[in-house]
Amino acid sequence: PQQPWAFAGELALTAKLQGSVSEDFNIMTRRGEWQAAVEVVTTPVSTLHGVAWVLAGAWQTADGERLNAQQGAWWVDEETQLSPCRDDARLLFTRLNRVP
């Protein structure tokens, strides 16, 4: 659970539900223009372009905006820092980079 899995978008996939609920978080980027790196973090992070989804606890931006569980944010061309508000906070963090 809550582990990133990368695959090419043109790959045909099938799946069989093994439990009662499946929650998916998809990041799709334009190949040749953007690259994405997704990870689950528990410590402060920052990036110029990104997407964040709070899995547990709460996170706060440097300007004081608070994100609680099941809330998210995205930004482009704006250095953004997110810090956990408590020790049990978990964030699904996507760092986006433009391809040179």
CATH number at 34-98: 2.60.120.10
Structure-token match 């953007």, residue found: 34
CB atoms within 10 A of CB 55: 20
The region, left, alpha or beta by phi > 0 then psi within -120 to 50, assigned to residue 32 is left
* 90, containing H or E segment: strand 90-98
What amino acid occupies position 2? Answer: Q
The pTM assigned to this predicted structure is 0.85
The pLDDT of residue 77 is: 97
Question: Per-residue pLDDT tens for 20-73?
Answer: 787 788 888 998 999 999 999 999 999 999 999 999 999 999 999 999 999 999
